[in-house]
Structure 1
C-alpha cells in the first residue's frame, strides 16, 4: 500500500512538472499572472461578471510587500522586490522547502529530498509540486475574501452608454472597493478611458506578435516590458515565434479604479478572442495552436498613468489570469 501511495505521488508530481515546464509562451500574458497594481498588488481585484471568480495572484512582481509603494511605470525600473518576491531568495526557499516536502513523502525525512536518489529530476519535481501547492493555497485564500461585483459590458452598448457598462458622465458607480486610505481613493473613469483599454488590448497583442519591443515599451511599464522581452527571447532561443491575429474584444467590465500617491490605476476584466499559434521560426510550420480557429481568453488587465493623466497616458502594468 505504501509503495502504491508513493507511486501515485510521483505520477502526480510528473504531471505537474510537465505542465510547469511548457515549451513556450503563447499570446502576451499567457505566461501567467505578472506585473503590479501599486498598493493593491497583493490584494485580489474585485470580481466582475466577466471574471466572477476573480484572478490568480501575481506570480511575478517587482513590488515588495515589505517596502513602500513601488511605481513600476515611472523611473523605478531598478527597484528590487523582497526576499520572497522573486529571484534568488524565492528560488532558494522553494528548493529547500520542496526538497523537505518530497523527502517526507518518500520516507527520507524532511532533509532527505535532495539526497534521496532523485537527483536533478527529483528536484525539478519537488519545485513544481511546491509551486502548484502555493498557487492552490493562494487561490483558496483569495476566494474566501468577499468582493463587490462590477457591471458587465457587452460589445453593443445602448446609445449614449460608455464602454464597460459605464455611463456618459463617468463610471464612478462601478468597481467598488473597501480598503484603507493608504490603498488609494476612488477614481472615476470615463468613455475615453474604456476605449483606451480596449485599444491597448489589440495593440499590445499585435506588438507582441510582431516582436516589436519599441511599441511594447511605449504601451507598458518597464516592468511589463521586461517580462515580455524575456518571453520573446525564450521563444527565439527555442526557434519559435508566436503569431497572433484577429484580436476581438468581446466583453469587459471595470473591477477597480483608484488614485494613490504617484499614480492612477484601473483594473479591468476583459474577455476576448484571437487566433493564436506558435510557429517554427525558420520553416513557418505550426508547432502548437491554430492560425485559423479563434480561441477565447479572460484576463484582468491593470493600467496605470500619472495622476490626472489623459486616456492616452494609460500603460499596462499587470496581467492576471481569470480563475
Structure 2
C-alpha cells in the first residue's frame, strides 16, 4: 500500500507541475525597443560599437534607423563625377574614318564617290579630299561663331562678381566660389567634424537615471516624458510599440529596474552633438497584462544586456538616441 500511495503522490505532483507549466505565461521581450536594434548613432549608426566586458560580443546591426548609409563617392558602375568622358572633336574620328575609307577605296578602285579607280584616280581623290576639308572648315567656323556670343556673355557675368540673387559666385552656394556645395546627384555628403568627448561620473549617473526613467515612462505609456528623455526618432518607435499593445488590449508593466553592470563602449562628438554608447546589464520585472482584467499574459526576461546610445546638444542634457541588442 505504501509503495502504491508513494507512486500516486509522485504522479500527482508531476501532473500538477505539468499543469502549472501549461498555464504559465510565455516569456517574451516586451520592454522598450522590443528586443530589437533601432535608432541613430550619427555617422556611426551602421558601425558596430566597441566590445566591452559587459557586452564582449558587441552589438547587432541596426535594424531600424532614420539615418541613411552614406554612399561612396565612386560606387561600382558610377563614373567619377569629377571626370568627364572623352569626347571626340568634331571632324576627328569621323573624318579620319572617311579618309581611311577613301584611300582604301582608291587603291581598290573606288574612292569616296566612285572615283576613276586604281592608282590613276589619286588626283581625283586629292581633289575630293580638298573639297571635304573645305566643307569641314566652313562648318567648324560656323559653329565657332555661334558659340562666341555665349562665351562672351559667360565671361562678362563672371567678371561682374557674385549675383546677389544667387548663393555665391558663378551661381554656386555662398562661400563656395566654384559652386561645388550644390547638392547635385553626385554631391558627396558633408563629413561632420569629429572630436573627442570626455565622460565623467555625472554622465554615468545620468545614463543610469535615464535607464530607469525611460522604462518607467514606457510602462506608464507617458509619451510626454518619453519625448523629454529620447530623440523624436526613438519616441516614434516607442509610440508604434505602445499603439500595438493598445490594439491587442495589453499593457507592458516594467518595474524594479536596477543596473547590475555597465561600461562605456565609445564616446565622440560630431559638430555640436556629443554621443556616448554604453553597455548596460540590468535586472527588471517585465510583465504584459490585459488592460481590463490585469491578468498576466506574458513574462519578460528578468535580466537584459543592451547597448544604449545617448546624445547631447549644447546646453541640454543627455537623451536616448538608440538601443542595440548584444550578439549571442
TM-score, reference length from structure 1: 0.54
Match of 1:300 among 303, 307, 316: 307
CA distance in 1, matches of 2:326, 2:254: 20
Work out whether residues 254 and 267 of structure 1, in 8 Å CA contact, stay in contact via their aligned partners in 2: yes
Alignment match, 1:261: 271
Within a 5 Å distance, the mapping from 1:1-323 to structure 2 comes to: 26-66=30-70, 182=192, 184-289=194-299, 295-307=302-314, 309=315, 313-323=317-327
Shift of 1:25: 5.8
How many aligned residue pairs are there? 184
Q: CA deviation at 1:29?
A: 2.1
Per-residue deviation at 1:24? Answer: 8.0
Secondary structure of 1:41 counterpart: coil
User: Is the contact between residue 24 and residue 234 of structure 1 (CA under 8 Å) also seen in structure 2?
Assistant: no
Question: What are the Cα deviations for residues 52-75 of structure 1, in whole angstroms up to 9, with x where unaligned?
Answer: 00001110000001379xxxxxxx
Q: Is the 8 A contact 2:251 2:289 kept in 1?
A: yes
User: Larger Rg: 1 or 2?
Assistant: 2
- How many angstroms does 1:261 deviate by? 1.6
Query: Any stretches of 5+ residues in structure 2 without a counterpart?
Result: 1-25, 73-190
Q: Distance in 2 between matches of 1:236 and 1:66?
A: 36
- How far apart, CA to CA, are the structure 2 residues paired with 1:186 and 1:216? 28
Contact in 1 for aligned 2:33/2:237 (Cα 8 Å): no
What is the distance in 2 between the residues matched to 1:41 and 1:225?
17
Where 1:38 maps in the other structure, the secondary structure is coil
Contact 2:194 2:269 in 1 (8 A): yes
Query: What is the RMSD of the two structures over their aligned residues, measured on CA atoms?
Result: 2.2
- TM-score (norm: length of structure 2): 0.53
Once the two structures are superposed, residues 258-303 of structure 1 have per-residue CA deviations (whole angstroms, 9 ceiling, x without a partner) of 011230000000000000011111111100106xxx7100000000
Secondary structure in 2 matching 1:204: helix
Q: Distance in 2 between matches of 1:192 and 1:321?
A: 25
